[in-house]
Amino acid sequence: MNNEMNILQLIYISHATQKLSEQDLNKILAEARPSNESRNITGMLLYRDGLFIQVLEGEEAVIEQLLSNIKKDTRHHDVHVVSKQIVKHREFSDWSMGFKNISHDMEGANSFLESTKEPIDNTLQPSTARKLLATFRDMR
């Protein structure tokens, strides 16, 4: 993965059709991780009280197809692309799908959310989304 050039990095948010339990979230991860690994996709998924924020990195055609599939997934709706850019290197190269459930009272989530006045919804700015994802990437 380290020798790649010009990969697509896509960040989107969406809303769950219902609140998901830890078991539901674990099932999503159990399906996504091997699938992403086989297609050389890296990224991270954050979940907070029915809101998903996800970054995906990989070959452009593969990421575009995955986004199309995500938009058809009935577990969520209102998929909004926050950022879509070609990058020279992966920021989440260690994970086929990193994950954090920030619904709980997590210190990183609270400090990040207190540091920005920006709502985490369809108006989320790309720079804020990147900072949020990087905050949890770096917490491992």
Query: For the segment 78-101, what is each residue's pLDDT rounded down to a tens digit?
Result: 999 999 999 999 998 887 777 877
pLDDT at 5: 66
By the 8 A CB rule, do 62 and 39 touch?
Answer: yes
Residues 6+ apart with CB under 8 A from 30: none
- In this structure, is residue 2 part of a structural domain? no
Asked if residue 39 belongs to a domain, the reply is yes
Specify if 46 maps to a domain.
yes
Domain that holds residue 110: 7-137
Rounded to whole angstroms, the Cα distance separating 5 from 56 reads: 15
Return d(Cα 56, Cα 12) in angstroms, integer.
9
Give me the number of domains the chain comprises: 1
d(CA 121, CA 51): 8
CATH number of the CATH domain containing 34: 3.30.70.100
Q: Does residue 7 surpass a pLDDT of 90?
A: yes
**pTM score:** 0.80
Task: Render pLDDT for 48-68 as a digit per residue (tens, 0 to 9).
Answer: 888 888 999 999 999 999 999
Return the DSSP state at 94: T
